[in-house]
Structure 1
Amino acid sequence: MTIGRIAPDFTAQTTEGPVTMSQFRGKWVLLFSHPGDFTPVCTSEFIAFAQLNEEFVKRNVQLLGISIDSNPSHLGWFYDILQMTGIEMPFPLIADRDANVAELYGMVNPDRIYEQSVRDVFFIDPNQRIRAILAYPATNGRNMYELLRLIDALQVSTTYGVSTPANWMPGDPVIVPVAQTLDEAILRGTDPESLDLNCFAWWYCFKDISELTPVNP
């Protein structure tokens, strides 16, 4: 599975009943796998996802977990987390017992020696296109704030047709597309302020997001 492809549709059993990927069309989806229920790092991640669920909801993001554990295992694990922390999981977790969904998304890779150690994350846009993919090992939990930051960056790029630089945070200036004509390139090089741009070169220009017009509202 690669960035830019349409997310494969599927029907799967979850802790909230059957779901399909296509039912989430119109929303961003964060499809994330974990190595196994009743494990410490995964438990810390699910608690963190639950605690920040409202932040994902504000961004029109549906969280959707997946592992090869059974649905009874998922439910028992969620119950233990509720008993330990008082936190109820506000999103579904897929029971992919036969790894059908994992295979659709390329999570099952014969080149991966330690298959059970992979934590994949797929960022899927409202048109069901895969926009980003991340992978983590079993030993290291995901940073939820980085996942939120990447969602913010992807949404800004989609809405305004711009790019985000290294270490970009919401509210920071963004990179505008390169000049499309010689006249525009010359103007960027000689008088970028007239275009409300901060240019270091005609091909390397930034703009405050507050001054941008949406291209995909």
Structure 2
Amino acid sequence: MISNYNINNVAEPVQRTECVTIGRLAPDFYALSTFGYIRLSDYRGKWVVFFSQPMSYTPVSTSEVINASRYYPEFTKRNAQFISLTTDNIFANLNWVYDIYLKTGIHVPFPVISDTDKEISQMYGMMNSDRTYEESVRDAFIINPEGKIMAILTLPITCGRSGYELIRILDSLQLTANNNLYTPADWRLGDPAIVPPPANYDALINSVNTASSSGLQCPFWYLCLQNTYTVEGTNGAVQQNFCQKCKK
């Protein structure tokens, strides 16, 4: 339940007028989950992948929760926490994760929120009157350790998310946060990354003149690539270059 209290101490639903967009603080919530009551702000200091499932016991959602559970160790290595949400009640969600365990042997290692009153879904814009389905869609929000939304992915209920792609996006966000580097199309951890382009003419000339001595590859003056296998990683360890072509 997300509520404010008026002068008579009567709960009133929170009304949000602003859009939930990249760069804004993620709306806080306190909600019942398969791990008990949780508060989003308690995860400050960690990256959070907050993703919705329209309902429990649906085929695409089940495949996503299994996939997220298998990828979970990779996210914990990156100081990241999963939080999932459905609009079903807590007993349905508990039965669902238990059914997944019975069929696969996988214990779902992250909380699944029961948003039965749909207040969290509405706060995050997962449910709009102009959408085809009444259920929440497949939204995923990647939230940084300061509580800001850094990425938003929205998919129809018919399309499951890729755990690999979520990791790729998280790696990109962490590389930018820690090293001020951008990532090109199809980038993977360890691939060369983009140095921010010069912001003025003097910086442009300096960049062109020093590119070779700086070890940069610049197919265009505004696109210079830097090897990242010697860049400090998120935990202070040197990241390894997993892209073989980049080692040549």
TM-score, reference length from structure 1: 0.93
Please state whether the residue corresponding to 2:190 is helix, strand or coil: coil
Aligned position for 2:207:
188
Supply the AA of the counterpart residue of 2:96: W
Letter in 1 for 2:49: L
Alpha-carbon separation, structure 2, partners of 1:125 and 1:109: 25
What is the CA-CA distance between 1:202 and the residue it aligns to? 2.2
1:180 offset after TM fit, Å? 4.0
Q: Does 1:7 align with 2:26?
A: yes
Q: How far apart are the structure 2 equivalents of 1:210 and 1:56?
A: 20
1:50-72 per-residue CA deviation (whole Å, 9 max, x = no partner) reads 11111111111110000110000
In structure 2, give the amino acid aligned to 1:149: R
The runs of 5 or more residues in structure 1 that have no matched partner are: none
Contact 1:189/1:201, CA 8 A, preserved across alignment: no
1:199 match: secondary structure: strand
1:65-144 paired onto structure 2 within 5 Å: 65-116=84-135, 118-144=137-163
What secondary structure is seen at the aligned counterpart in 1 of 2:224? strand
**Percent of residue pairs identical:** 44
Q: Which amino acid aligns with 1:40?
A: P
Structure 2: distance between partners of 1:169 and 1:36: 32
Q: Secondary structure at the match of 1:12?
A: strand
Counterpart amino acid of 2:141?
F
Counterpart residue type for residue 217 of structure 2 = N
2:49 matches 1:49: no
Q: Which has the higher contact order (CA 8 A, sep 6+)?
A: 1
8 A Cα contact 1:64 1:91, kept in partner: yes
SS at match of 2:141: strand
Q: Which runs of 4+ in 1 moved over 6 A?
A: none
| Distance across 2 between alignment mates of 1:196 and 1:183 | 20
Alignment map for 1:13-28 (pairs within 5 Å) = 13-28=32-47
The alpha-carbon distance between structure 1 residues 90 and 151, as it changes in their structure 2 partners (threshold 3 A), is: same
Question: How many corresponding residue pairs?
Answer: 215
Specify the SS of the correspondent of 1:57.
Answer: helix
SS in 2 for 1:195: coil
Which amino acid in 1 is paired with 2:31? Answer: A
Larger helix proportion of the pair = 1
Unpaired runs of at least 5, structure 2: 1-19, 237-248
TM-score by length of 2: 0.82
Give the root-mean-square deviation of aligned CA atoms.
Answer: 1.7
Conservation of the 8 A alpha-carbon contact between 1:12 and 1:19: yes
Q: Report the Cα distance in structure 2 between the residues aligned to 1:207 and 1:109, rounded to whole angstroms.
A: 42
Q: Which secondary structure does the structure 2 equivalent of 1:73 belong to?
A: helix
Range moving further from structure 2, 178-187 or 107-116: 178-187
Deviation, 1:107, is: 1.1
One of 14, 18, 32 as aligned partner of 2:51: 32
Q: Which amino acid aligns with 1:137?
A: P
TM-fit CA distance, 1:120 = 0.4
